[in-house]
Chains A and B, each alone.
Chain A
Amino acid sequence: MTGPLLELDSVAGAGEIMEVSMGPHHPSTHGVFRMDVRLEGEKVVRLKPVFGYLHRNHEKIAEHGAYLSAIPYTDRLDYLCSMTNNWGYCLAVEKLAGIAVPERAEYIRVIVAELTRFQNHAGLVGFLLQDMGASGTPLMYAFREREKVLDLFESLSGARMMCNYMRFGGVRVDCTTAWLDEVRRLVPALPRFVDEFENLLRANEILMARTQGTGKLPRDLAINAGVTGPMLRASGVNYDVRKVDKYGIYDRFDFRVPLGDHGDVYDRYMMRILEMRETVKILEQALRDIPGGPIIDPKVRLRGLRPKAGEAYGRIESPKGELGFYLISDGSTNPYRYRVRPPSMINLTILEDMCLGENIADVVITLGSVDIVLGEVDR
């Protein structure tokens, strides 16, 4: 990389300043991500996130392919939540081309998206606790649960992670009654898992001492920085795209948006736990109400779709925050402009403000609580 990013003398009143380059292969960075950290003793005085190591030219590839061929690439943005990525993109195309989605497909979308949210939060909390030194146990418990959700995805869409499941105007394959019964068997067991997970460490004195008051993100700063998702809600801002936009059929479900108070790492950790509980509520309602019928609008031309010239922005509440896809069509078979608003990247830009004055060890857990996936940050 390039030379030092900041002049050493620029930090006024500093003692001996040490520059540490954390990453790109540091195990705590959840991927290939680097932080240029300036330390005075153990205290962080400057921090600069450096990313782009996993840049794969996602937007340009999508602009050079047909509308259909971008869907498998969206799987690879946030590779833990391929279902919600598919949904965000399909929503944008549906807005652009004016496509309606059948009722049953909407319900299936909600079911798979909420399952995705559950497994993402379980995994994230597992990793976060792993970062804090709770080696293994919480992560293994989380992955045991995630595994069950991934098995469901595999029997539905054919792949565990790169599902490529949704299409504009619906979903690719219908779920069978047997599959729905599997989900109905799994969902009632999920609250028991959340209880167990919470009991493990929620009231743990060491964890509380470590996380409460660490990595504080004030409410106003969070809003100004464009932070979204559980991280914004942990700072006490009531903003959830599922409630604000009511995309799909989210206005039919009765669920609450948990809010934090302090905006520290502990709040962000609890936010995920509480959201898992709300997710179970949505799943129960969706599984109760799912109707029969078609799963895709048969009139939609998936291959060779040519939306009228215009633009559209589709946004959803992905597990990490507001995931948006902005498309401009010039009437041809591929988008003129394709732009992703990745929640984890925008949440990551505020990292320095959360870490200043903290210890270097707290940088690791603050980063862990942001919930980044580098596939989405770098695209």
Chain B
Amino acid sequence: MKTLTYIKKENLNTFLEELNKDYDVFLPVQNRENGTINFESLDTVNDNNVVNLKEKTRKSPKSLFFPPTENLFEFEYIKDIKTPDIMEIKLSESEEMIPDKINSRKNIIFGIKPCDVMALKCLDLVFGEGEKKDSRYVMKRANTIIISIGCNNIFPDCFCTSVGGNPFYFDHSDLGLIDMGPDLVIFKSSEKDDIRELLDKSHKFFEEREINSDEEIKIKKIISDSEVKCRSNNESVNAEDIVLDMENKFNDEEMWKNITRKCISCAACTYVCPTCVCFNIGDEQSGMKGERYKCWDFCTNYYYTLEASGHNPRENIYQRYRNKINCKYNYFYKRNKNLYCVGCGRCIDVCPVGMDIREIVKHVRSSQK
């Protein structure tokens, strides 16, 4: 007989508030005014902002590790009137970059979906490894506990199974929970020290139950129903095949022009995507002081490849969109053996004109040159 740990849903609020005392808890919060759900701190929950664990968030949780804007450092030009031809530059670290500030309290992300956890794995490949790893990103990742909840419901824009994912993919989460109705069951738990510490601290909210085969079947059914539903809604994409198709159809300009006519080259899909990570670095100066900042950038922008000479290799929308699709389904796979799309469907949900990345990929695969 197996034993599993259960959390009653009626205890969930108190459990989270208890956690909030020692950790900074982030979870999906829905604004009653306009219905959008985003990852916010537990402190913002009130009558107008309620917790909603059933649906996808509008913006992805990447902003907790890769913020839309952050100051890298501050600089100041210092001149001494006695030596007017010498100018010193004083550099100082911005507050948000100071390691002690980042590590002051551990973070918990609660209620993150399996597609977003797969996306964090992709972000790790970009920012967390190799010579060029971002030390602040690595610090934030090490400082965060990920508690994921699997997807009992599949929405019209979900397609994680097409790209090698799964509605109950718990591999990179620290804790994986399944919604059983009146309670949540901890289906997967990592052996790391900080997770054991968290579980020990909160044991009064948990219930250890010996489960019988009926319960096991029930859990397995929830998992397989979701997977089957997602697979039946969407076609599967084989990574090696799609990379080859993208390469072969790259120069078919007529096809690319036809399928991207609708696109208005805004940044909506890029900014809500959990894996898109292009960024821009700039300086803001006022008088003798200034700061260098890093902010999100988007490749569907005209200015993205504009060169100082005035020439722009990607002058038209179809070229920029083609680059975006290739980045996700071609280039990244060649570098890291991982597709760069996790099938969350946020781009489809937010696109002003209804561009559907599934249709685009299908078109590329099936078009005859």
Query: Do A and B originate from a single complex?
Result: no
A interface residues, Cβ below 8 angstroms from B: none
| Chain B residues within CB distance 8 Å of chain A | none
